[in-house]
Amino acid sequence: MNLLLVFVGGGLGSAARYGMSVAALRLGWIAFPYATLATNVIGCFVMGLITELLALKFSVSQPTRLFLTTGIVGGFTTFSTFALETALHVEQGRMGTAALYAGLSLGLGLAALFGAMALVRAL
C-alpha cells in the first residue's frame, strides 16, 4: 500500500513540476533555469510546512506522510534536473551562471525549508 501511495503522489508532484516548466517556457524563461529553481524552492517550503505540521499540529498515519512527502513533494522537486542544468552551464563556459544557480538553489532552498518550519512553530 505504501508503494502505491508514493507512486500516486509522485505522479501528482511530477505533473505539477511539468506544469511549472511549461509556464516558464511560455514566459520565455530560457537563459536561466528559473522553473527548476522555483520548483525546488517551493518544494523545500512545502516540505518544511508538511513535516512541521505533521510533527507538531496533526497526527496522521505513516502512509499519509509518505504520500505527502516522499510522493508529492519528492515527485515535484528535482535534484537531477538541477545537477544537469548546472553541468550544462559549466560545459557551456557559463561558470558565473552555474555558480549563481547552485548557490541560489541551495541557499534559497534551505531558507525556504527553515522559514516554513519557523512559521509553523510560530502558529
| 8-65: pLDDT as tens digits | 999 999 999 999 999 999 999 888 999 999 999 999 999 999 999 999 999 999 999 9
pLDDT of the residue at 21: 93
- Domain limits for position 33: 2-122
- Residue 122, C-beta contacts closer than 8 angstroms, at least 6 positions apart: none
Contact 101, 32 (CB under 8 A): yes
**Domain total for the chain?**
1
**What 3 state SS string does 45-103 have?**
HHHHHHHHHHHHCCCCCHHHHHHHHHHHHHHHCCHHHHHHHHHHHHHCCCHHHHHHHHH
CA–CA dist 70, 58 (Å, integer): 18
Question: 48 among the known binding-site residues?
Answer: no
Contact 50, 73 (CB under 8 A): yes
Question: 77 among the known binding-site residues?
Answer: yes
pLDDT of 122 > 90? The answer is yes
